[in-house]
Amino acid sequence: MKKIIQDYTKEELGEIVKPPFRAKQIYNWVYHKHADSFGQMENLPKAMRAELEEEFTLHPLTMLSRQESRDGSVKYLFELHDGHTVEAVLLLMKEAQYHEDGTLKHHRRYTVCISSQVGCKVGCAFCLTAKGGFMRDLSAGEIVAQVLEIYKDQGIPSNHRVNLVYMGMGEPLDNLENVAKAVKIFSDMDGMSISPNRQTISTSGLSSKIEKLGAMDLGVNLAISLHAVDDELRQQLMPINKAYNIASIMEAVRNFPVNQRKKVLFEYLVIKDVNDDLGAAKKLVKLLNGIKAKVNLIYFNPYPGTDFKRPDPEDMRRFQEYLLSKGVLCTIRESKGLDISAACGQLREQKLQEGGAQ
């Protein structure tokens, strides 16, 4: 099997292709010019192009399907070389804006939501990804290629600023080594130049790995999928809470190096009659005391076979208003791409049901 070129940092590539400036040229072809073959890389010596073609692939992913939502979000299903499938979602956050004289004020703003594993070991009760069990980790290149393929598909210029969230399928901190490598490859100035402070790693709360990620000091943002404020309920929703309880997560968050101007994001998936009461909101305020935090309330997105229900918008707003009244920053995540079932794992599941993908 051929090696995946996107698996390599520029420094690693520089060890293989000598002299090392060749690595910079290759990065330019892969990440700026979006080359389809090594043959196109005309500033490389012919023999080198042939060797690269022999040994490496530029295409670790094949797009199996693409669904566009009315709000401009696009959901992708990719097939890996071994037939497994993963999802990524392009979210349109803001339309382009223009000055009065017609010149561009800013481009469309995008966030790309990427997967880090095929399936997930964590097994949260509300999550569709968990239902299929765990298959395998993605390599760094398989993570990077999701964004690259979306750029190519959408014709997004390589200098366009996008944000990345590791909120697709899988638990990123359960695949920390490859995720950390992907963060570095994404941020290479000769590559996609997506700086770590525009990348957010979302975790179900593997406290020891949060500490490890913090020690790496990559400069990424951290998001915690909290979803419940007492251990008993959290344990029911997220079995991982037995190993890493809420106190251990908060301790790890306090130790995490956060960029001066940034906050730690706490995701709170709101499920009707489970965790949508004001009592929970009160406990949440207490829990976040002294932490530079921002809360993102997420509507539970139902799927066939689940007993959990989508919360009422009034309860969402009441929850939000309580937090705001206590000085805690809180937003409600718009259910972007809801009509294309954009919550994690849902497109893949649909395909599985149809017998299409693995």
Using DSSP, how many helices (H) and how many strands (E) does the chain show?
Answer: 12, 16
Output 38 or 275, the one with its CB closest to ligand SAH. Answer: 275
Would residue 95 show up in a list of annotated catalytic residues for this protein?
no
Other C-beta atoms lying within 10 Å of the C-beta of residue 160: 16
Of 72, 167, 62, nearest to 113 by C-alpha is 167
Chain residues 62-121 in contact with ligand SAH, contact rule CB under 6 A: none
Residue 122 near ligand SF4 by CB under 6 A: yes
301, 320, 341, 350: which one binds ligand SAH (CB under 6 A): 301
Residue 358 contacts residue 84 (beta carbons within 8 Å): yes
Among 27, 29, 76, 126, binds ligand SAH (CB under 6 A): 126
Which phi-psi region, left, alpha or beta, contains residue 133 (left: φ > 0; alpha: ψ -120 to 50)? left
Q: Does 185 bind ligand SF4 (CB under 6 A)?
A: no
The 209-248 contact track toward ligand SF4, x by CB under 6 A, reads: ----------------x-----------------------
Q: What angle do CA 79, 83, 88 make, to 5 degrees?
A: 25
Query: Phi/psi of residue 234, each to 5°?
Result: -65, -35
Is residue 53 part of the annotated active site? The answer reads no
Query: Under DSSP, is residue 102 helix (H, G, I), strand (E, B) or coil?
Result: coil
Query: Does 7 contact ligand SAH by CB under 6 A?
Result: no
Q: What's the distance, Cα to Cα, between the start and end of the chain in Å?
A: 20
Which residue in 267, 330, 344, 349 is the catalytic one?
A: 344
Q: Are 226 and 210 in contact (CB under 8 A)?
A: no
Amino acid symbol at 144:
V
Q: Does 129 bind ligand SF4 (CB under 6 A)?
A: yes
Burial classification of residue 283, based on how many CB atoms lie within 10 Å of its CB (0-12 exposed, 13-18 middle, 19 or more buried): middle
Quick note: the x/- pattern for ligand SF4 over 306-335, rule CB under 6 A, is ------------------------------
CB of 81 to ligand SF4, least distance (A): 22
Q: Which residues are catalytic?
A: 87, 344
* Site of interaction with ligand SAH (CB under 6 A): 126-128, 167, 171, 202-204, 225, 267, 269, 298, 300-301, 343-344
* Site of interaction with ligand SF4 (CB under 6 A): 120, 122-124, 127, 129-130, 170-171, 204, 225, 344
